[in-house]
Structure 1
Amino acid sequence: MIGGPVRELLTDVQYRVRGAHPLRPGMRSALRRAERADPRELRRMQERRLRLLVRWAAARTPYYRRWFADAGLDPRDVRTLDDLAALPTIGRDNVAADPTAFLAYPRRLAWPARSSGTSGTVVTVYRSPGSAVYERCALERQWSWFGVPPRAPRVVLRGSTVAGPHGITRIRPATGELLVSSFHLTAEHLPEILAAVRAHAPVAVEGWPSSLTLFATLLRDAGEPLRVRAVITSSEVIGAAAARTLEEVFGGPVVDHYGQTERVALAGNCPCGGLHAFGDYGIVETLPVPDAPQRREIVGTPLHNWAFPLLRYRTGDEVVGEPDPAPCPCGRSFPLLGAVDGRVEDAFTAADGRPIPLPHTLVKNLTGLREVQVAQHAPGRFEVRVVPGHGYDREAVAAAVRATVHRVVGPGQTVEVRETERIPRSASGKLRPAIVLGE
């Protein structure tokens, strides 16, 4: 398990690669063409990449090499989007069982990422540096729809790696972003945060909706509005009331995008309000959810990550209702998704009363686990429930949990790690990665 300072250093290196990658200009040019492409042209592009991806996966990954051999199917027979139905869907359990079975690159040439996501099932995935650059360019394209240039100064509230020895804020040298700790959004810390933010002169603010809403509320109560061109959000479902608060305080529109750690699908809203699935990033299917006729599960096949090809990956995320079949008034060719029913988490509370948004991030980088859940029994009193998996190390997991909580939340918290054979599910059958309990 990589410690916080080392992980942050590696993250900075990765951001430098994204900014200086030699294929970045070509990727940006291709992305600009795709958003205005004729739907038939976009489909032809998807099918060209799909044919290459399927053959690559069948030749290079143990999982698909076995599957095609057992199924007696020639990878060259998968040629069109309609042919995708011949392939099986896969999910978190497949990847969690053996991530290396999906690796098409040597592990040393791929970037790992870990998540417990909305399901609580711990998964490790990989991506190529080129995939990370492509995703960044796709997001920058969406930001440009709202007048935000690629390298515009931004304030980012997306976690806790700022906390600890770095203080409450710091500049990420690779990007020029001002990082603000999501776990220090209090009236006491606001003057220090606001001074750093105003000195940075951001064009946009970016982060988790819960963190941004806390920040906006503090600014509103202090009579200190912060005007920017856009409020960039992701990782959580954003409610109408929160969106209104963000737009009132920051003066810019909410620019929201949907994605996953597995990077199989990417979608974002346009200035007309539609949520577009980015068809040049991945092929998106929406499959019926049993006993829920108004809901469909998002299944993605990424067209950019040659290091870790996942074909027809079930995200576990669902869309509610049917998208409008009419073309979006914005004129872009990407299809509309509908409303994504994604992660909603209650904020935890630290021992001193500070809110802790998206608390599942406290345990997202643990390894050797099949399932994990962090529960709050009272402010500052946490229990991390773990189901041991391959390579589990009890002492290492416990030490990593306590070190992370101390580093990002601060001293004075009580943390207990409890092993269990199975973590209870909610009424819907899902494992919630973070839960607030009573005394």
Structure 2
Amino acid sequence: MAAQAWLAARVGAGYYAWRRFLPARVLYHPDFFRVQALLAQDDIRVAQEARRRLRRVLVHALAYVPWYRRNVRLGAHEAAHEPLEQVLACFPYLSKDEVMAQQRDFLDCRADPDKLLYATSGGSSGQGIGMWRSKRLADIEKAFFTHEWGRFGFSFDKARILRIGADARRLAHEAPTRVAGNRLMLSPYHLDAAHRGAIVDAIARFRPAYVHAYPSSAAALAELLQPGDLALQVRAVLLASEPATPAQLAAIRRLFRCPVSLNYGLSERTNLAFAGYDDEGLGGYRFQPLYGWSENRIDEDRCEIVGTSLWNDLMPLIRYRTGDYGRIGAGGRCAAIDGRGQDFLVDRSGRRIPGLAIVIDEVTWDFVRLYQVRQRRPGAITLAVVPRHGVLSADQRAFVLDAQRRRWGGFFDIALQEECDIPLAPNGKRKLVVSALA
């Protein structure tokens, strides 16, 4: 496993070093360009294509995906010809627990998982989910972001990007930044006064045109620096994975003096929405209609966001409950999205580290169903886990602890605690981080 990780890191480093020199047709699947062409059409044609894609995924799921064939009382032939809304209503709402309990049954029966990409995420709730994908699906995903962020001139492979996220993390004794091709990777663990000079110097040398970051990390950088510290003009700040407070958005805009884009998305790839922040403040979100079929499920007096991927034919999730809330109106407009929060840990040096920077290894989800990070004092955390089956073995406990100590040992003392369950928070979701610190 260590050798595979080393090889993947080397291959990844080579890819980012060379991709800016390669033509797009070499880098991306043909469907990347097909989706871009569809997105360039007017709203009426996009809506028509979205309905066509929805019917296609419903028929496909009933023909080739075991779980739907067992649980939906409808045949593929009927789904191809009955009214679309009636067909969709035959599919039950789907939860993350159901997907992970019968994971392989959501995979196209003709697909070989050994030839696919597999990625896991605990998201903001500490409840893991794993998804099989192909390069085609990954490139289609990029097409939607390229379309939206292309308004600012952004390109994944050509633009110079300051990246602040979990993929940029570094160990406590390492420098705060490293260069990976067209990206300057800034560790969210190192945003403190001790590294301020090194961060300013690295940004000045690299001269990024865009910032791609967690909102909490971009705001931490804005708190660390003054506008005059950066002798460059950034074209846009692109924020993902968390909500952002008005104070954070104001601080980010004050430092970078450019438009700010926020997006709402999931590792499950069922919904995608964007919002913008400028001199007039934060506009509402708009769900991308060609990315996923977004609808509401009424949960008491709240509207839960439910999504169906329009492109994932390998592992289609249909009417997937996101656990997030927001009323979706005409044209996919949504004033606000609730259900996600920002959580922080405090390390030995008193630095605040964003909760979303916590990474759980893929293998862990084979035997852990839920996890939560708990903190009572600075520099020490307890990883509370709910085993998937009974109790963890000694080898499993050692695997979890060793993986986290390698990653976090320079910042925290780490303990492991097994639980029967992790309760829901008042907003209906489990909290990733529970801290007794102010």
User: TM-score normalised to the size of structure 1?
Assistant: 0.86
TM alignment of 1:369-408, pairs within 5 A? 369-390=368-389, 394-408=393-407
- 8 Å contact kept, 2:295–2:328: no
Q: Distance in 1 between matches of 2:303 and 2:401?
A: 38
TM alignment of 1:2-401, pairs within 5 A? 5=6, 8=9, 24=29, 27-28=32-33, 30-39=35-44, 41-68=45-72, 74-77=78-81, 80-81=84-85, 83-104=87-108, 105-150=111-156, 151-159=158-166, 161-164=168-171, 167-173=175-181, 176-220=182-226, 223-224=229-230, 227-269=233-275, 273-290=283-300, 292=301, 295-319=302-326, 323=329, 325=330, 335-359=332-356, 361-363=358-360, 365=362, 366-367=364-365, 368-390=367-389, 394-401=393-400
Q: In 2 relative to 1, CA 306–72 (structure 1 residues): closer, same or farther, beyond 3 Å?
A: closer
Q: In 2 relative to 1, CA 434–363 (structure 1 residues): closer, same or farther, beyond 3 Å?
A: farther
By how many angstroms is 1:43 displaced?
2.6
- 8 Å contact kept, 2:339–2:429: no
- 8 Å contact kept, 1:372–1:387: yes
Residue identity opposite 1:135 in structure 2? E
- The SS at the match of 2:69 is helix
By how many angstroms is 1:55 displaced?
2.3
Residue identity opposite 1:304 in structure 2? W
Q: Distance in 2 between matches of 1:397 and 1:19?
A: 43
- The SS at the match of 1:316 is strand
Q: In 2 relative to 1, CA 181–33 (structure 1 residues): closer, same or farther, beyond 3 Å?
A: same
- 8 Å contact kept, 1:116–1:122: yes
> Which is further off, 250-259 or 394-403?
394-403
- 8 Å contact kept, 1:115–1:123: yes
Q: In 2 relative to 1, CA 221–76 (structure 1 residues): closer, same or farther, beyond 3 Å?
A: closer
- 8 Å contact kept, 1:288–1:296: yes
- The SS at the match of 2:420 is coil
- 8 Å contact kept, 2:122–2:128: yes
Residue identity opposite 1:88 in structure 2? P
Residue identity opposite 1:38 in structure 2? D
- The SS at the match of 1:307 is coil
- 8 Å contact kept, 2:346–2:378: yes
Q: Distance in 1 between matches of 2:7 and 2:348?
A: 27
Q: Distance in 1 between matches of 2:317 and 2:11?
A: 25
Q: Distance in 2 between matches of 1:18 and 1:392?
A: 51
By how many angstroms is 1:10 displaced?
6.9
Question: CA offsets, 1:115-168, max 9 Å, x none?
Answer: 222333222122221111011121111111233344211010011554139742
Q: Distance in 2 between matches of 1:132 and 1:18?
A: 18
Q: Distance in 2 between matches of 1:369 and 1:13?
A: 33
Q: Distance in 1 between matches of 2:99 and 2:15?
A: 23
- The SS at the match of 2:318 is coil
- 8 Å contact kept, 2:31–2:136: no
Greater relative contact order (Cα < 8 A, sep 6+): 1
Match of residue 328 from structure 1:
none
- The SS at the match of 1:145 is helix
Residue identity opposite 1:57 in structure 2? A
- 8 Å contact kept, 1:225–1:249: no
User: TM-score normalised to the size of structure 2?
Assistant: 0.86
Post-superposition, which runs of at least 4 consecutive aligned residues in structure 1 deviate over 4 A?
1-26, 70-73, 221-226, 390-393
By how many angstroms is 1:303 displaced?
1.2
Q: Distance in 2 between matches of 1:207 and 1:395?
A: 37
> Which is further off, 70-79 or 409-418?
70-79
Match of residue 329 from structure 1:
none
> Which is further off, 2-11 or 370-379?
2-11
Q: In 2 relative to 1, CA 47–391 (structure 1 residues): closer, same or farther, beyond 3 Å?
A: farther
Match of residue 424 from structure 1:
423
Q: In 2 relative to 1, CA 304–91 (structure 1 residues): closer, same or farther, beyond 3 Å?
A: same
> Which is further off, 28-37 or 305-314?
28-37
Q: Distance in 1 between matches of 2:393 and 2:231?
A: 47
Q: Distance in 2 between matches of 1:364 and 1:286?
A: 32
- The SS at the match of 2:242 is coil
The answer to whether structure 1 residue 434 and structure 2 residue 438 are counterparts is no
Q: Distance in 2 between matches of 1:139 and 1:348?
A: 30
Q: Distance in 2 between matches of 1:101 and 1:313?
A: 15
Q: Unpaired runs of 5+ in structure 2?
A: none
Q: Distance in 2 between matches of 1:405 and 1:20?
A: 39
Q: Distance in 2 between matches of 1:21 and 1:103?
A: 28
By how many angstroms is 1:279 displaced?
1.2
Q: RMSD of the alignment, in Å?
A: 3.1
Q: Distance in 2 between matches of 1:224 and 1:30?
A: 37
By how many angstroms is 1:66 displaced?
1.5
Q: Distance in 2 between matches of 1:143 and 1:235?
A: 16
Q: Distance in 1 between matches of 2:277 and 2:30?
A: 25
Q: Distance in 1 between matches of 2:82 and 2:23?
A: 32
Count of residues in correspondence between the two structures: 422
- The SS at the match of 1:189 is helix
By how many angstroms is 1:112 displaced?
1.5
Residue identity opposite 2:323 in structure 1? G
Q: In 2 relative to 1, CA 187–22 (structure 1 residues): closer, same or farther, beyond 3 Å?
A: closer
